[in-house]
Every structure is written in structure tokens, then in C-alpha cells.
Homo-oligomer: A and B are copies of this chain.
Amino acid sequence: MKIISSPQLLQEEIIKLKRKGNTIGFVPTMGYLHDGHLSLIRRARKDCDVVVVSIFVNPLQFGPREDLKKYPRNFKKDSALCKKYTDILFYPNVREMYPDDFLTEIEVNKLSNVLCGASRPGHFKGVATVVNKLFNIIFPDMAYFGQKDAQQAVIIKKMVKDLNIPADIKVMPTVREKDGLAMSSRNSYLSRQERGDAAVLYRSLILAKNMVKKGATDSNKIISKMRNLILNKKSAKIDYISIVNPETLDPLKKMNKQALVLLAVFVGKTRLIDNILIRR
């Protein structure tokens, strides 16, 4: 595994690799890797000739009061974890990605301003911009994202389509702990008590799924039951619970053939997200 920190050197390397006919699989991450990330990397390994993983805590996607500074980092452990499946580990620094005179932003309108985008203004602009840069450096044939960040995946797919980027976006299932909690680097923030409480997010999603299975169709009723379940936990504060069209993210009053149930919940001070796709 090569570790490259210069965007330009990586770009030159990739151009050489592509000229030889290699397909490139790319997994963008913010590091502090867990089994969710590793599932993406292993899938890239199966699909592509060359696997590139990036580790970059992207300041552009953090709001001024968010956790950029304390976001967990462990490069040594990360590079050991992905070594087995990765050909190139891209580990740029902030200065090289965003020089002082950096001015360009990519906005996927509408999709970026709802759900997590409403709670975190500018977040998805930061995500779209960094992913666009990474794609221009790495030219992936396939790029891998987790379903846990469902809104992010929808936005990246839309950007790729709108801007004619020739990359295939693969969205892989959420990997969960034994009690159902979606794996996330931010789980490391949780106290023991909070960690226990956090399992309620997934349980509320399963509750929604079971309600639909038994015939429930009214989104408000489903959301209300989820809300009650979650608020049983004292450490939990709901940011949003929403049931939407999985592609347009438009709210659904009634359950459709396909519905995406998403939620963001503060457990203590830690904001966690999760979602489930329900097919009728």
C-alpha cells in the first residue's frame, strides 16, 4: 500500500494506472475506520483493479459550532486496518486541499437543505465540494458510500448525474453493532450509559418497519410512535424523524411503495443518524 499526500502526485499516478487499463475503486472516508468503512473497501477490492482509500477530515462540511476539532483521528490504526485491501491510501492535508485563496463551492440545491441539511447549514455543500475534488483527483470508475449517510448518498448520486461525472456510485448496506446501533466514528463520543441508550435509534426504525408490515400507512402516526419510543431514553433529544421519497427526499404523508425513514437524534451531546428503507 502506497501512502500519498499530494493531490497532484496522486492524480499523476492515477492517470498512469488508468492509461494501462486499470479500473479504479474509491472509498472516501474521514478516517477512524470501522467495519462499515471496511465493508466498502472490501467491496471495492472485489470490483476493481486498483483500490484507493482517502482519509481526510473535511473542514468544509463542519459548521462553526460542530465537532471538527475533536473529531476522532487515528492514522496509524487506520492505515493498518485498510492495508490488506488497499493499493493507495490518500492522506492529504487541509492546506493542500484548501489553499488560503480557495473559493469554489458545489451546491446540490433542494436536496442539501432538508433533513440533516436543515440542521447543519452548509454541510452538504462541503460534502459535495470535497467529493468533487476527490473524484477529479482519483477518477474512480466506482465509488463506495454507506447507506447510513443516506442523504449524502442521494446528493452525491445527483451531483454525479448532473455534472456528467463518469463514476458509478455504489451505496452499501449500513453495518451495525450487535444491538443494532449503526457503526459510526462518532459512537466513540458516547459514555457507557449513552451507548446503551443509542440502540433505541435502530429499534425505532424496526418499530416503523413492523408497523408498515402490519398495514400502517400514515407517516405521522408512525413518526409519533417512533418519537415516543426514543423519548423513553432520558439522554435522547430528537433532531428530526422523517419519512421521505428515497430519491427526491420529498416528505411522504402516506407510505409509498418505497419509503426512506430517517432520523437524527442527540444522545447526550452526540448527534447520531440512522435510516431504513421500507418497501411495501
Contact = CB atoms under 8 A, between A and B. Distances in A.
Given A104-B158, A133-B163, 6 more contacts: A11-B164, A103-B108, A104-B107, A104-B163, A132-B163, A136-B165
Contacts of A162: 102-104, 133
Interface string A70-112: 0000000000000000000000000000000011111111110
23 contacts: A7-B164, A11-B166, A15-B166, A18-B19, A19-B21, A102-B162, A103-B108, A103-B109, A103-B110, A103-B111, A103-B162, A104-B107, A104-B109, A104-B158, A104-B159, A104-B162, A105-B106, A105-B107, A106-B106, A129-B163, A132-B163, A133-B162, A136-B166
A137 interface: yes
Interface string A162-203: 111110000000000000000000000000000000000000
Contacts of A110: 103
Contacts of A137: 164
Stoichiometry, as copies per complex, reads: 2
Interface in A144-171: 158-159, 162-166
A15 to B, nearest CB: 7
> Which bucket holds chain A's interface residue count?
20 to 34
A105 B109 CA distance: 7
Contacts of A111: 103
Closest 5 CB pairs of A and B: A104-B162, A136-B164, A103-B109, A137-B164, A104-B108
A165 B165 CA distance: 12
Interface string A120-143: 000000001100110011000000
A255 to B, nearest CB: 23
A233 B166 CA distance: 51
Nearest to A158: B103
Name the residue in A15, A129, A166 with the highest tally of chain B Cβ atoms < 10 Å from its Cβ. Answer: A166
B133 A164 contact: yes
A102 B163 CA distance: 9
